[in-house]
């Protein structure tokens, strides 16, 4: 018979908000996980750390119906109108642009990235219960078509047969001349797409696994200097097949940007941090413009400017607050000025968080 003390401990374990606590008296049996009654078989067994349960990221995200992208230790998952971002070793996660603190960060075991099960499931709108007697994690997800917590269901308009979609905004622009050793390559989709079905090529080389891809946009920061000359980008997704070229006229002393966040197309609150990497000790000039359509031929627009300095390793970060211009877009322009005279420009188009 369970005592009141044991019952309280089990209840406390179920209600912990971020990861999944474990009952202390049942450590010998393996942990099982099920979604809506169907058991999940992981290629890497769940790991217990500091009284929490961690599972392989793709196993849980994709079972919960989310598209997941992993790049350079950064995890981005999208399900409907919910976006979850985590990073290996970081105690901060971002859900729809809002930061939340984790008890313990995601980590790597062998070739697998493990994430806190309770936090991930609840962030994607599922409920989580833990049976301490059987060491079973029971995840219940709303049925398909039900409104996710905090908002109405996302409606995706079907594409008419024979009407191909085109990217709304691409970088570099078609036939543009850029002067950056590592220019950002990216684009915004005209409507939501399945991120797992997106493929990106640069000069015939598949770079999808190195790119940030969401249901709204994609971006890629080259990990090597692009040689002088013309380069071709090709993107395919359901209903989309587009390619374009640009000319890289960069000289060896040109500056660059890489791993800039927030990624293009993401939703951010009014106050957010712009960060990334450039040449060491560069000065980074930031211009952020918040704009919204009011009526035909009229927009409400507000702009702020600020500067940041890259450290000796090339990292820079600056928190900015954009004025509330209403529902619309936030355009951010970054210019880096290196001590050797090299310059680089990066532009971001973000969505204001509802």
Q: What is the mean pLDDT of residues 119-126?
A: 84
User: For 20-70, what is each residue's pLDDT tens digit?
Assistant: 554 444 455 778 888 888 888 877 788 877 667 888 876 777 778 887 777
Full-model pTM: 0.38
User: For 219-264, what is each residue's pLDDT tens digit?
Assistant: 888 888 888 889 999 998 888 889 999 998 877 667 788 888 888 7
On whether the 4-140 domain is CATH 3.30.457.10, my answer is yes
Percent pLDDT > 70 in the chain is 79
Lowest mean pLDDT among 45-49, 170-174, 183-187: 45-49
Domain boundaries, the chain: 4-140, 156-252, 261-354
Specify the pLDDT at position 235: 92
Q: How confident is the model at residue 299 (pLDDT cuts 50, 70, 90)?
A: low
Specify the pLDDT at position 340: 82
Whether residue 296 is predicted with pLDDT greater than 60 in this model: the reply is: no
At the topology level, CATH places domain 261-354 in: Immunoglobulin-like (2.60.40)
Residue with the bigger pLDDT between 306 and 256: it is 306
Provide the β-strand partners of residue 55. Answer: 115
Specify the pLDDT at position 309: 94
Domain spanning 156-252, CATH class? mainly beta
Q: What is the mean pLDDT of residues 174-197?
A: 85
Of 228, 229, 223, 234, give the one whose Cα is nearest residue 182. 223
Q: Do domains 4-140 and 261-354 have the same CATH topology?
A: no
Q: How confident is the model at residue 201 (pLDDT cuts 50, 70, 90)?
A: very high
Q: What is the mean pLDDT of residues 279-298?
A: 78
Whether residue 82 is predicted with pLDDT greater than 60 in this model: the reply is: yes
Whether residue 158 is predicted with pLDDT greater than 60 in this model: the reply is: no
265, HSE (Cβ side, Cα atoms, 13 Å): 26
Mean pLDDT, the chain, integer: 77
Lowest mean pLDDT among 220-224, 308-312, 335-339: 220-224
Task: Name, of 85-89, 193-197, 230-234, 350-354, the range with top average pLDDT.
Answer: 230-234
353, HSE (Cβ side, Cα atoms, 13 Å): 17
- For 351, the token pair is 């969505």
Whether residue 150 is predicted with pLDDT greater than 80 in this model: the reply is: no
Specify the pLDDT at position 281: 93
Q: Label the pairing between strands 343-352 and 267-268.
A: parallel
3-state helix, strand, coil in the chain (%, to 5): 10, 45, 45
The answer for residues whose C-beta is within 8 angstroms of residue 27's C-beta and 6 or more apart is: 48
Whether residue 284 is predicted with pLDDT greater than 50 in this model: the reply is: yes
Asked if 353 and 96 count as a contact pair (C-beta separation under 8 A), the reply is yes
85: left (phi over 0), alpha (psi -120 to 50) or beta: beta
- For 341, the token pair is 């005279």
Specify the pLDDT at position 267: 84
């Amino acid at each position: 018979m369970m005592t009141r003390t044991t019952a309280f401990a089990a209840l406390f374990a179920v209600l912990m908000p971020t990861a999944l606590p474990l009952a202390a008296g049942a450590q010998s049996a393996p942990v099982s996980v099920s979604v809506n009654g169907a058991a999940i078989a992981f290629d890497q067994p769940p790991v217990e750390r500091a009284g929490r349960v961690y599972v392989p990221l793709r196993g849980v995200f994709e079972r919960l119906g989310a598209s997941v992208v992993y790049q350079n230790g950064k995890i981005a998952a999208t399900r409907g109108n919910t976006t979850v971002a985590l990073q290996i070793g970081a105690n901060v996660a971002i859900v729809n642009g809002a930061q939340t603190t984790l008890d313990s960060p995601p980590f790597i075991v062998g070739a697998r990235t493990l994430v806190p099960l309770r936090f991930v499931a609840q962030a994607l709108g599922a409920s989580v219960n833990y049976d301490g007697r059987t060491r079973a994690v029971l995840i219940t997800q709303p049925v398909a078509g039900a409104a996710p917590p905090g908002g109405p269901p996302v409606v995706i308009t079907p594409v008419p047969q024979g009407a191909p979609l085109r990217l709304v905004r691409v970088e570099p622009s078609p036939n543009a001349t850029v002067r950056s050793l590592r220019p950002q390559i990216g684009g915004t989709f005209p409507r939501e797409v399945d991120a797992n079905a997106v493929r990106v090529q640069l000069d015939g080389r598949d770079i999808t696994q190195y790119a940030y891809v969401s249901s709204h946009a994609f971006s890629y920061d080259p990990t090597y200097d692009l040689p002088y000359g013309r380069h071709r980008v090709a993107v395919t997704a359901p209903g989309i097949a587009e390619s374009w070229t640009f000319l890289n006229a960069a000289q060896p002393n040109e500056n660059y940007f890489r791993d800039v966040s927030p990624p293009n197309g993401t939703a951010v609150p009014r106050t957010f941090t712009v960060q990334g990497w450039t040449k060491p000790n560069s000065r980074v000039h930031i211009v952020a413009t918040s704009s919204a359509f009011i009526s035909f031929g009229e927009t409400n627009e507000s702009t702020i400017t600020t500067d940041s300095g890259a450290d000796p390793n090339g990292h820079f970060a600056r928190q900015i607050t954009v004025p509330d211009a209403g529902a619309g877009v936030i355009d951010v322009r970054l210019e880096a000025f290196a001590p050797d005279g090299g310059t680089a420009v990066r532009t971001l188009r973000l969505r204001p968080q509802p």
